[in-house]
């Protein structure tokens, strides 16, 4: 596992460090996740114990969050600045202590435990730190969802469905049976809409979803994004996101993992994989057209 460090950054300096390292080879030897929660195996307990000693090595470092996954470890380490040890030394000690303990548990003095190196990402603001924190906390849930529904987290190309124009090549992530639902409601809200008119359009779309409609659209304009945000609080709301660019670099993350894994969101694109992630006017208009066509195909728009 190799990762280039941030050039010019003092790795003894202040920051929130998101650390990842993996077993060698990627063996599920550290924990199990049978119910969306981490259950540590003895090897995983050894990692957790080693992580608790970070503050002893250098008091300027503090372990904020730890997720010992079956085959890898995520940790958020906070440095208050002016550390006597480089971050790399802290991680090496964590890996070394746990390696020694795991070898002792297994009775194998030369056992290969970890891949070389580690990944690090640095957050310099509370907002980015919160994103890292949510990622670590939600990681067990994502693990189980992916393993329970692996097909939903793989990109499927050449999608064919009566609602989708056949002259277009479609790709998707998620449960494609969402397209079968008879009531689709296209969310198309102009950027020029403001004030009471905007509030009314957003409220109407949310009301349709609460009544059982599957909302479909690009969710690009400010009003459309307000709809998407509001629907995150509606437990049974189902959404079809029609991306106005290709899915070549798409990877579910954050709340999308939960919604895809529970069959509440389908990510769909009618654009080639190599179309850059830029919401051009032409692509957004084409998306709106496709959303209306898909809704009308069921006779519900």
pLDDT of the residue at 1: 46
pLDDT digits (tens, 9 = 90+) for 97-117: 999 999 999 999 999 999 999
Mean pLDDT in residue range 209-216: 91
CATH topology of domain 15-148: Alpha-Beta Plaits (3.30.70)
Helices (H) and strands (E) in the chain, counts: 8, 12
- Domain over 150-297 is classified CATH 3.30.70.2170: no
Give the whole-angstrom CA distance, residue 8 versus residue 6. Answer: 6
Extents of the domains making up the chain: 15-148, 150-297
Using one digit for the tens of pLDDT, what is the confidence trace for 17-62? 999 999 998 899 999 998 889 999 999 999 999 999 999 999 999 9
Report the range of poorest mean pLDDT among 100-114, 172-186, 267-281, 285-299: 285-299
More confident residue, 3 or 54: 54
Domain 15-148 identical in fold to domain 150-297: no
* pLDDT tens per residue across span 152-196: 999 999 999 999 999 999 999 999 989 998 889 999 999 999 999
Compute φ and ψ for 4, nearest 5 degrees: -70, 135
* Euclidean distance between CA atoms 95 and 99, whole angstroms: 6
| Higher per-residue confidence, 63 vs 144 | 63
Q: 3-class DSSP state for residue 112?
A: coil
240/25 Cα distance (integer angstroms):
37
Q: How far apart are CA 203 and CA 28, in angstroms?
A: 46
Kindly report which listed range (92-96, 109-113, 243-247, 260-264) carries the lowest average pLDDT score: 260-264
Q: Answer yes or no: are the C-beta atoms of 245 and 283 closer than 8 Å.
A: yes
d(CA 269, CA 96): 46
DSSP-assigned beta bridge partners for residue 21: 73
The first and second tokens of residue 80, run together, are: 């208050």
Question: What's the token pair of residue 258?
Answer: 């939960």
Give the residue-averaged pLDDT of 264-273: 95
Which residue bears the tokens 């692509």? 283
């Amino acid at each position: 596992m190799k990762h280039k460090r941030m050039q010019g950054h003092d790795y003894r300096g202040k920051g929130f460090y998101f650390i990842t390292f993996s077993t060698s080879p990627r063996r599920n030897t550290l924990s199990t996740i049978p119910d969306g929660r981490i259950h540590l195996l003895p090897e995983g307990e050894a990692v957790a114990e080693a992580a608790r000693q970070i503050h002893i090595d250098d008091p300027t470092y503090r372990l904020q969050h730890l997720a010992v996954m079956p085959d890898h470890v995520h940790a958020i380490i906070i440095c208050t600045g002016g550390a006597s040890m480089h971050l790399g030394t802290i991680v090496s000690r964590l890996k070394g202590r746990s390696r020694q303990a795991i070898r002792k548990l297994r009775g194998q003095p030369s056992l290969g435990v970890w891949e070389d190196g580690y990944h690090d990402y640095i957050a310099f603001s509370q907002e980015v730190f919160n994103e890292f924190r949510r990622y670590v906390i939600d990681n067990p849930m994502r693990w189980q969802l992916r393993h329970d529904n692996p097909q939903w987290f793989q990109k499927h190309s050449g999608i064919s469905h009566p609602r989708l124009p056949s002259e277009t090549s479609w790709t998707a992530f998620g449960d494609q049976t969402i397209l079968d639902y008879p009531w689709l409601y296209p969310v198309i809200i102009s950027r020029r809409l403001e004030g009471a008119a905007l509030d009314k359009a957003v409220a109407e779309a949310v009301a349709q979803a609460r009544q059982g409609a599957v909302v479909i659209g690009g969710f690009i304009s400010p009003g459309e994004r307000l709809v998407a945000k509001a629907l995150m609080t509606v437990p049974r709301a189902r959404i079809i996101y029609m991306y106005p660019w290709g899915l070549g670099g798409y990877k579910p993350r954050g709340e999308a993992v939960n919604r895809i894994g529970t069959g509440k969101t389908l990510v769909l694109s009618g654009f080639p994989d190599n179309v850059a992630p830029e919401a051009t006017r032409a692509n957004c208009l084409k998306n709106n057209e496709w959303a209306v066509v898909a809704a009308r195909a069921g006779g519900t728009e």
